[in-house]
């Protein structure tokens, strides 16, 4: 199958490079570091073994790319309005679009623009960053959960999962809503808290007061998931996420990096949308609503809203 990576950053670049290394046909859309990568290649500094792709199929415009079987969107959701125009030249009648993005509500919003499009969610459990051109630093983990939102072509979906696994990527298929809300259990507390507390993940968990606050925030996500009908997530999963974070390399999540580099933060889909979905079923998330308000204040002070 032919792949397109729309958003060759810390996540898209890493998974795309793993696919290339396994012999898959992958085409990368780049922006600011297009010229650098064309000249120097794509470097993956990884805890699982570093490697360099000296030559990749790189493009500076999606209009120059071939139509693909699988389009992997790994852009920040702050650029969501750009995605329809970016992916339109890449679509065939039977293309599957995989959104490896943070938040709730991304797939329904894209489906409005493309009513017949095959769409799936990709929820990456990975510590990876890209703070300089053409170099991706993969610190730990790397698995991905796939949730089928609207793909009716089993061949495409199963082929994607098979290719990921052949590329050395631990891949699991989950029910769509379970996959999205499970990722929110980690994302909603840690992304915002690392910003407002100006701390890495380990520092938040080493302090008993913020550790307990993180746990309460995680339980708010679990309760919201139950309220919207996802009953497969429980308190045991919260403890698993805390234990996992205890064992990971001290980490600044993507929102903290966006804050540090004065980029817009993904408040809408990471906070406002899940809070709205919970409110529709009369489920309150007071700790996370306060966190959203703090983040919106920070964004207003920085001129991003």
Nearest to 72 by CA among 20, 138, 34: 20
Nearest to 213 by CA among 303, 286, 130: 286
Q: How confident is the model at residue 223 (pLDDT cuts 50, 70, 90)?
A: very high
Which CATH code is given to the segment(s) 2-174?
3.40.50.720
Over 90: is that where the pLDDT of 305 sits? no
Over 90: is that where the pLDDT of 54 sits? yes
Antiparallel, parallel or unpaired: β 42-46 and 51-53: antiparallel
Nearest to 277 by CA among 219, 233, 227, 237: 227
Question: Phi/psi of residue 148, each to 5°?
Answer: -80, 115
Mean pLDDT, rounded, for 92-107: 97
Mean pLDDT, rounded, for 39-57: 97
Predicted local confidence at residue 210, as pLDDT? 98
- What pLDDT, in 10s, does the model give residues 243-259? 999 999 999 999 999 99
Rounded to two decimals, what is the model's pTM? 0.96
Over 90: is that where the pLDDT of 286 sits? yes
Annotated catalytic residue: which of 2, 182, 183, 268? Answer: 183
Mean pLDDT, rounded, for 25-40: 96
Q: How confident is the model at residue 301 (pLDDT cuts 50, 70, 90)?
A: very high
Predicted local confidence at residue 81, as pLDDT? 96
CATH fold, domain 178-301, is: 1.10.1040
Compute CA distances 3 → 26, 90, 96, 159, 228, whole Å: 5, 10, 10, 11, 34
Angle at CA 139, nearest 5°, toward 191 and 77?
40
Q: What is the mean pLDDT of the chain?
A: 97
String of b and e for 20-29 (b: at least 16 CB within 10 Å)? beeebebbbb
Query: Where do you find CATH 3.40.50.720 in the chain?
Result: 2-174
Over 90: is that where the pLDDT of 233 sits? yes
Alpha-carbon span 121 to 150, nearest angstrom? 10
Query: Where do you find CATH 1.10.1040.10 in the chain?
Result: 178-301
Predicted local confidence at residue 131, as pLDDT? 84
Task: Find tokens 């696919």 and name the residue.
Answer: 19
The residues, any chain, with a CB within 8 Å of residue 39's CB and separated by 6 or more, are: none
Over 90: is that where the pLDDT of 303 sits? yes
String of b and e for 261-280 (b: at least 16 CB within 10 Å)? eeebbbbbbbbbbbbebbee
Strands (E) across 7-102 are located at 25-29, 42-46, 51-53, 57-59, 70-73, 96-99
Predicted local confidence at residue 293, as pLDDT? 98
Strands (E) across the chain are located at 2-6, 25-29, 42-46, 51-53, 57-59, 70-73, 96-99, 118-132, 135-148, 171-174
Mean pLDDT, rounded, for 290-296: 98
Q: Is 183 a catalytic residue?
A: yes
Nearest to 188 by CA among 100, 250, 273, 98: 273
- What pLDDT, in 10s, does the model give residues 172-189? 999 999 999 999 999 999
- What pLDDT, in 10s, does the model give residues 113-140? 999 999 999 999 999 999 899 999 999 9
Alpha-carbon span 54 to 8, nearest angstrom? 15
Predicted local confidence at residue 79, as pLDDT? 94
Mean pLDDT, rounded, for 29-40: 96
């Amino acid at each position: 199958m032919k792949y397109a990576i729309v958003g060759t950053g810390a996540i898209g670049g890493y998974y795309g490079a793993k696919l290339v290394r396994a012999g898959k046909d992958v085409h990368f859309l780049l922006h600011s570091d297009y010229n650098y990568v064309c000249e120097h290649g794509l470097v993956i500094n990884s805890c699982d073994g570093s490697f360099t792709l000296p030559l990749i199929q790189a493009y500076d415009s999606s209009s120059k790319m071939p139509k693909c079987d699988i389009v992997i969107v790994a852009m920040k959701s702050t650029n969501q309005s750009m995605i329809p125009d970016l992916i339109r030249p890449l679509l065939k009648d039977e293309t599957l679009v995989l959104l490896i993005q943070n938040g709730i509500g991304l797939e329904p919003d894209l489906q409005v623009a493309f009513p017949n499009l095959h769409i799936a969610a990709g929820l990456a459990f990975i510590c990876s960053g890209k703070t300089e051109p053409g170099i991706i630093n993969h610190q730990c983990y790397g698995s991905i959960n796939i949730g089928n939102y609207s793909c009716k072509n089993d061949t495409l979906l199963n082929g994607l999962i098979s290719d990921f696994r052949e590329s050395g990527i631990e891949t699991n298929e989950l029910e769509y809503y379970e996959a999205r809300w499970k990722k929110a259990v980690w994302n909603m507390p840690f992304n915002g808290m690392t910003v407002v507390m100006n701390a890495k993940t380990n520092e938040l968990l080493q302090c008993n007061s913020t550790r307990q606050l993180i746990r309460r925030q995680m339980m708010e996500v679990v309760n919201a998931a139950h309220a919207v009908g996802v009953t497969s997530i429980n308190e045991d999963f919260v403890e698993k996420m805390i234990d996992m974070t205890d064992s990971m390399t001290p980490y600044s999540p993507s929102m903290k990096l966006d804050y540090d580099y004065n980029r817009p933060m993904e408040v809408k889909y990471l906070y406002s949308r899940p809070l709205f979905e919970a409110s529709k079923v009369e489920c309150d998330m007071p700790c996370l609503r306060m966190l959203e308000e703090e983040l919106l204040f920070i964004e207003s002070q920085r001129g991003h809203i």
